[in-house]
Structure 1
Amino acid sequence: MRNNNINNVTNKVTLGLILALSLLSANMATFAQSNNEVSFYLQGSFSKLNYEALGESSKLENGFGFGAKYSYYLTENWSLGTGAEFQFMEGSIFVPTAQGAYMTQDSEADAFEFRYAATNFSENQEVYFLNIPLQVQYESLGTTRFYAAAGLKAGLVLNSEYQSSAGSLETSGYYSQYDVELTSPTFAGFGEFKAVSNSKSELDLKTNFVAHLESGVKFMLENDRSLYMGLFLDYGLNDIKPNTSGNRLVHYNAQAPTDFAFSSLLSAREIQDLDEVRTLAFGLKIQYAFQF
């Protein structure tokens, strides 16, 4: 009889241990599933290539981005994330007058000083980045959560272009050997020309490194889904200015003197007051996520 009681107790304890281990395994599996989060997001922003040239500052323009992110939760509150992001940024600058002079040769190989003054000069830049982010995120608990994230991004330049124009362009040629300045004829590239512009050209910006800050609200949905709504700030940490190409701001083409073209203010050799070019973007970010 005593052996039967011992066996019954042993069986009950064994069954209890099995049930406890099953519940613990289920809880651990549930916790393991919630460690991982995959999200997709869209962001709209104001953006600029932040710089000063010829006494003027660049202006804010529109931008956008979208991406995918993977996060691993170290605890219920803290996570580490990485992913891939496509980002478009646009910048612009307006200069009332851009002028300069340099030595060159005409179609007959005579040396002269080409002088120019471009009024109402403007330049637009467009840049496409592939960003690789690394960030840490904190979030509170509950159905509606506050979250804040900070980290770094490495931005690979997929494409960068600029387009420049001037309301008018006045040019002349000074021949020191004759001590004469020619303001005509126009077919030789000397005179006043209206509405000069060039087509989009390569800008060749450098790889961008960015400090990223983000904060907002995370709404917990059914089936381990969530929706983020927040604000973000991306600030460039390094100078992405292209190497000075040696080209002049206004090109004089001896073979086609009236076909003027512009170099970018970011790379023209006579723009001496341009120190650094950094990116700046801020705006709204919407993110849809699910955990597993």
Structure 2
Amino acid sequence: MNMEINNTKAANRSGILKLALVLALISASTPALAQSNNEVSFYLQGSFSELGYEALGQKSKLENGFGLGAKYAYYFSENWSLGTGAEFQYMEGSIFVPAIQGAFMTQDAEADAFEFRYQADNFSENQKVYFLNIPLQIQYESLGLTRFYAAAGVKVGLGLASEYNTYATSLETSGYYPQYDVELTDPEFAGFGEFGAVNNAKSELDLKTNFVAHLESGVKFMLENRQSLYMGIFLDYGLNDIKPDTSGQRLVDYNAQNPTEFAFGSVLFSRNDMNSEPYVDEVRTLAIGLKVQYAFQF
């Protein structure tokens, strides 16, 4: 009888130990599963970028760009997550036009009306733009130590700063006085003649808020201690026109008080003096490149 009681007690102790072990495993695994729902990451991206537009039959060119950012993602399943964060993005744009001509009526220092005529040769303009992007994207990834991932979403780009620089190898000007039916190609102090290179100092662009479609794909390598490394490619395509909202300035203006001081405006917000139409209809951003991202889950 005592032996049966002892066996029963031993069986009970064994059952209790097994139950305790199961409960311990469950309690240990539950926080681990909960912790894996959150991911914080930091990334760096290098790209070719452009402010996409067309002026005088010439298209803007791809230039260099880069970005860096931080992201938070919430995993609502093993494969799917939703993320947001903050991103600093730098983009460049440029255009080259062999020759730009224009003419408009104005007045000289003596208040005589005349038509100011000009031709700028080998005109080029470079733009630099800095955005603060707020992304929202959904991501799918496979399982395993080496995972395929794909992400899509949108970004709202707030302009932090922007600038442009214009240059022409030469500028030739003249003044036509219809009341005298004469065209003056000199004197230079009056702003008429052949001038050398004209380089405009950096000036501010007033670009609109940028809305961007974002696509990304690559490989995610799972590391120790819930860390991971992403390597992929991405595409950012501007959805809206961010051209400055201006009335249309002149690309080259005549200053009667200082006729020899020439400076170019930007083709992004200037009008064509030959037909009074803007040089550029719309401006959209484009960036494509590589992205490296370090992440950890908790």
State the TM bucket, normalised to the shorter chain: over 0.9
Tell me the residue number matched to 1:72: 74
In structure 2, what is the Cα distance between the partners aligned to 1:274 and 1:53? 5
For 1:174 and 1:188, the matched residues in 2 are separated by 13
Counterpart of 1:135, as a letter, is: Q
Partner of 1:236: 238
The range that moved more, 108-117 or 138-147, is 108-117
Structure 1, residues 50-74: CA drift from partner, whole Å, max 9, x if none? 0100110000110011111111111
How far, CA to CA, are the matches of 1:37 and 1:24 in structure 2?
23
Deviation beyond 6 Å, 4+ runs, structure 1: 1-12
The counterpart of 1:274, out of the listed 250, 269, 280, is: 280
Q: Aligned partners of 2:186, 2:279: CA distance in 1, in Å?
A: 31
How far 1:11 sits from its partner (Å)? 6.9
Amino acid at match of 1:99: Q
Deviations 1:77-100 (A, max 9, x none): 111111100000001000001111
Q: Is the 8 A contact 2:96 2:123 kept in 1?
A: yes
Name the counterpart of 1:161. Answer: 163
1:10 CA drift (Å): 7.0
Alignment-mate amino acid for residue 75 of structure 2: Y
> Which position in structure 2 is the counterpart of 1:147?
149
C-alpha separation in 1, matches of 2:39 and 2:122: 51
> One-letter code of the match for 1:286?
V
Q: What secondary structure is seen at the aligned counterpart in 2 of 1:178?
A: coil
Tell me the alpha carbon deviations over residues 250-291 of structure 1, each in whole angstroms, 9 at most, x when there is no partner.
Answer: 121111111101110000022535221000010110111111
Partners of 1:165 and 1:195 within 8 A in 2: yes
Question: Per the alignment, in what secondary structure is the counterpart of residue 261 of structure 1?
Answer: coil
Alignment of 1:21-100 (within 5 A): 21-100=23-102
Once the two structures are overlaid, the 10-residue window that deviates more, 252-261 or 263-272, is 263-272
Give TM-score, length-normalised by structure 1. 0.94
Structure 2 match to 1:182: 184
Q: Which amino acid aligns with 2:281?
A: D
Q: What residue ranges of structure 1 are gaps of 5+ in the alignment? A: none
Distance of 2:281 and 2:184 partners within structure 1 = 35
Preserved contact between residue 251 and residue 271 of structure 2 (Cα < 8 Å): yes
- CA-based RMSD of the aligned residues comes to 1.9
Specify which of 251, 257, 260 is matched with residue 258 of structure 1: 260
- Distance in 2, Cα, partners of 1:130 & 1:26: 41
- For 1:216, give the aligned amino acid: G
Distance 2:180 2:19 in 1: 106
Deviation of 1:23 (Å) = 2.1
Deviation at 1:246, TM superposition (A): 3.4
State how 1:177-216 maps to structure 2 within 5 Å: 177-216=179-218
Give the C-alpha shift of residue 12 in structure 1. 6.2
Cα distance 1:13–1:111, how it changes in 2: closer, same or farther (>3 A)? farther
Q: Distance in 1 between matches of 2:108 and 2:34?
A: 75
Per the normalisation by structure 2, the TM-score is 0.92
Amino acid at match of 1:285: K
- For structure 1, which segment, 8-17 or 20-29, has the greater mean C-alpha deviation from structure 2 after superposition? 8-17
| Aligned residue number for residue 219 of structure 2 | 217
Provide the rounded CA distance (Å) in 1 between the counterparts of 2:122 and 2:185.
20
Q: Distance in 2 between matches of 1:101 and 1:21?
A: 87
Identity, in percent, stands at 75
Q: Distance in 2 between matches of 1:14 and 1:75?
A: 34
Partner SS for 1:251: coil
Task: Specify every segment of 5 or more residues in structure 2 that has no aligned partner in the other structure, as ranges.
Answer: none
Distance in 2 between the 1:268 and 1:183 partners?
25
For residues 207 and 4 of structure 1, the distance between their equivalents in structure 2, rounded to whole angstroms, comes to 80
* CA distance, structure 2, for counterparts of residue 215 and residue 193 of structure 1: 52
SS of 1:222 mapped into structure 2: coil
Contact 1:244–1:269 (CA<8 Å) still a contact in 2? no
Residue equivalent to 1:284: 290
Amino acid aligned to 1:188: A
Shift of 1:19: 3.8
